[in-house]
Amino acid sequence: MTRLVKDGAEPLRLNLVVADFTRLDEVARVADTLAATLPTLDVLVNNAAVAAPEGRTYTADGHELTFQVNYLAPYLLTTKLVPRLAGVGGRVVNVSSLRHSGGNINWKNPAGDQYWPLAAYAQSKLALTMYTKSLAEAGGDSFIALSVHPGVFQTRLLRMYGRVGRPPEEAAPIITTLGSPTYPVVDGGYYDGLSLAKAAALVENPRARSRLEKLSVHLVASALR
């Protein structure tokens, strides 16, 4: 908040709400709080993510941590906020990763029969990118949804690899541009920076996306009540 004000934001227009994405009940609570506070929503950026831990880790909800934080939590948050986006030309910007193209969905066990951190991360970002396409189709003309690989930046997500990538401040213009209602984009598109790019084959597979939707609803059912 302090940094936003320092950068020129108006303090009275800022409202900080916090949720632990490893707890779906907190995600649902924050979504309900925002829905009750905001009559409309212009843009929703799902940027929160974690690097997969070295060993398989489960959340209190019983899900593999990476899959929940990087996919199930944004899915739940967005699903509950869609009514605030619809009809106002709102946008959903889901921060994906180039690694989504190397991912696969373990339909029977998203936690993975054998755990490998990079595979867990790739699966979570593939699911998010697939969901983005489905969300765009479901939204029709009422709002726009897109996913983006902004690039590699020096964030805490990559601290295990040392100081790699560009300064994180350079990612902000990419996200804000794609979230602007005046910037032309392809609804449901996957972007590499500001350029439309080719997504993984499963993203373009309607049957796979329908299967993911059913799985997602099942996994977050308790928090959707």
Model confidence pLDDT, tens digit, residues 131-160: 999 999 999 999 999 999 997 655 555 554
- What's the whole-model pTM score? 0.92
Catalytic residue chosen out of the listed positions 80, 124, 125, 190: 125
* Per-residue model confidence (pLDDT) at position 87: 74
Distance (Å, rounded) from C-alpha 83 to C-alpha 36?
A: 11
| Identified catalytic residue from 80, 96, 131, 191 | 96
Q: Which two tokens stand for residue 123?
A: 């699966």
Which ranges in the chain belong to alpha helices (H)? 2-6, 24-37, 65-67, 73-85, 117-139, 172-179, 206-219, 221-224
Structural domain containing residue 213: 2-224
* CA-based nearest residue to 82, from 37, 47, 126, 35: 35
Q: How many residues does the chain have?
A: 225
CATH of the domain at 79: 3.40.50.720
For residue 14, what are its two tokens? 């800022």
pLDDT in tens, 31-86: 999 999 999 999 999 999 999 999 999 999 999 999 999 999 999 999 999 999 98
- The yes-or-no answer on residue 125 being catalytic is yes
Active site residue 58: no
115 annotated active-site = no
Look at the chain and report how many structural domains it folds into: 1
Instruction: Choose, from 71, 121, 131, 190, the residue flagged as catalytic.
Output: 121
